[in-house]
């Protein structure tokens, strides 16, 4: 556990420092405005009114956004690692199985039904519930296909690609029959962002991510076994169907909750696990906690860049991860060949 302390310390430093970075840099005295820690640090009471604005921006807007970005980054990275071990495919992610397009389809439906009795019943934001339902639907289709005894990991990935294309075509259909404002909201959701991140969002999604991630941390030894092959896993006493069901259930809930709030943010589940493999090796007992911590730092840093890249407005973080993930994907393919 001690070997992860530097990475844990770096994550805590990033959680404090990254919200200070942006188009308008927030100073430490603004962060510590009218606090006991500020009085101790500066030797006097910090009560100047002009510090109040930066203080509120930091604690009410930027800090919750960075904290939520860390939660999503850690969750997406872990889910990517799980699917790479489960399918023994270095390019497998939950998004490969259509969960992102399923969630996007649900969000598109919520735009179509905005103001109807469905959204009134579900409350606000209804998009989260629709997107979560779409993600669960996509994962359920692939999961039921996996129950077949003769289906291989490659066939499951192909089934996921087919589900992905189906939901993508349905999204295009909804965009075609929608008005321009609805189409823009659908497109904006598919880019992925943390604009909706608040303290309430962390309280809603945070426990799901923490509990799911904790269970995955406990299963690190089992990932080493299934990564060697189904026959060896069965010979060592692992109930493969039950274990696969558990992983599908966990990742469905985790990814569905994250994508429902933040939208589909691609390539995180591919890049972070492979970066961690380069530094800590293939042992999943070490790889799982390292992936969790590095994923949190990585996506929070990407979101900070997205918030600072434009002079006006905020760039969707999904654009930043795609810019990094595309070249990384090609380098990974070349390196493996």
Per-residue pLDDT tens over the stretch 111-153: 777 655 454 444 446 777 788 888 888 888 877 776 665 555 6
* Overall average pLDDT of the 182-203 stretch: 83
Q: Is there a contact between 108 and 174 (Cβ–Cβ < 8 Å)?
A: yes
Q: Where are the alpha helices (DSSP H) in 263-316?
A: 268-280, 284-308
Give the Cα separation of 332 and 102 in Å (integer). Answer: 27
Of residues 42 and 212, more confidently modeled: 212
* Overall average pLDDT of the 274-303 stretch: 90
- What's the pLDDT tens digit per position in 100-109? 888 888 888 8
Q: Where are the alpha helices (DSSP H) in the chain?
A: 5-17, 28-31, 36-42, 52-56, 63-87, 99-112, 117-122, 126-146, 153-177, 180-191, 199-218, 220-226, 230-235, 240-262, 268-280, 284-308, 317-336
Question: Across the chain, what does the average pLDDT equal?
Answer: 80
CATH class of the domain comprising 2-336: mainly alpha
**What is the SS3 assignment for 196?**
coil
Q: What 8-state DSSP symbol labels residue 337?
A: -
- pLDDT the model gives residue 294: 94
Give the Cα separation of 59 and 20 in Å (integer). Answer: 10
Give the Cα separation of 64 and 46 in Å (integer). Answer: 23
- pLDDT the model gives residue 120: 46
What is the Rg, in whole angstroms, of the alpha carbon atoms belonging to the chain? 21
- pLDDT the model gives residue 9: 92
* Overall average pLDDT of the 50-63 stretch: 81
The separation between CA 214 and the C-alpha centre of its own chain, rounded to angstroms, equals: 16
Q: Pick from 322, 306, 301, 246: which is nearest to 73 by CA?
A: 301
Bond prior to 103 in cis (omega within 30° of 0): no
Give the Cα separation of 287 and 273 in Å (integer). Answer: 8
Provide the Cα torsion 308, 7, 92, 109; round to 10°: -40
Predicted confidence band of residue 336 (pLDDT cuts 50, 70, 90) = low
- pLDDT the model gives residue 295: 94
Q: For residue 3, is pLDDT > 80?
A: no
- What's the pLDDT tens digit per position in 165-189? 898 899 889 888 888 888 888 888 8
Around 199, how many Cα atoms within 13 Å sit in the side-chain half-sphere?
5
- Listed in sequence order, the residues at least 6 apart from 157 whose beta carbon sits closer than 8 Å to its beta carbon are 87, 89, 92, 96, 97
């Amino acid at each position: 556990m001690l070997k992860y302390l530097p990475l844990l310390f770096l994550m805590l430093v990033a959680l404090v420092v990254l919200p200070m970075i942006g188009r308008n840099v927030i100073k430490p005295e603004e962060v510590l405005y009218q606090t006991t820690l500020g009085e101790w640090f500066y030797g006097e009471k910090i009560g100047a009114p002009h510090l109040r604005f930066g203080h509120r921006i930091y604690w009410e807007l930027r800090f919750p956004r960075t904290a939520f970005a860390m939660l999503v980054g850690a969750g997406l990275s872990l889910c990517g690692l799980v699917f790479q071990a489960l399918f023994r495919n270095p390019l497998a992610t939950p998004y490969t199985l259509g969960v992102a397009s399923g969630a996007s389809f649900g969000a598109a439906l919520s735009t179509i039904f905005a103001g109807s009795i469905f959204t009134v019943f579900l409350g606000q934001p209804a998009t989260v519930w629709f997107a979560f339902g779409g993600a669960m639907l996509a994962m359920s289709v692939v999961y039921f296909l996996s129950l077949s005894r003769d289906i291989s990991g490659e066939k499951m990935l192909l089934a996921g690609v087919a589900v992905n294309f189906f939901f993508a075509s349905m999204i295009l259909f909804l965009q075609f029959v929608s008005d321009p404002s609805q189409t823009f909201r659908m497109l904006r959701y598919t880019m992925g962002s943390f604009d909706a991140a608040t303290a309430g969002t962390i309280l809603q999604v945070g426990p799901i991510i923490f509990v799911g991630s904790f269970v995955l941390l406990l299963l690190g030894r089992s990932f080493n076994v299934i990564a060697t092959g189904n026959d060896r896993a069965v010979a060592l006493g692992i109930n493969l169907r039950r274990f696969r069901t558990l992983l599908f259930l966990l990742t469905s809930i985790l990814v569905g909750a994250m994508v429902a709030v933040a939208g589909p943010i691609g390539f995180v589940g591919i890049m972070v696990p492979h970066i961690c493999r380069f530094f800590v090796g293939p042992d999943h007992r070490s790889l799982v906690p390292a992936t969790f911590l590095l994923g949190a730092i990585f996506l929070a840093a990407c979101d900070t860049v997205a918030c600072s890249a434009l002079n006006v407005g905020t760039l969707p973080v999904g654009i930043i991860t795609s810019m990094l993930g595309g070249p990384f994907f090609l380098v990974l393919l070349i390196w493996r060949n």
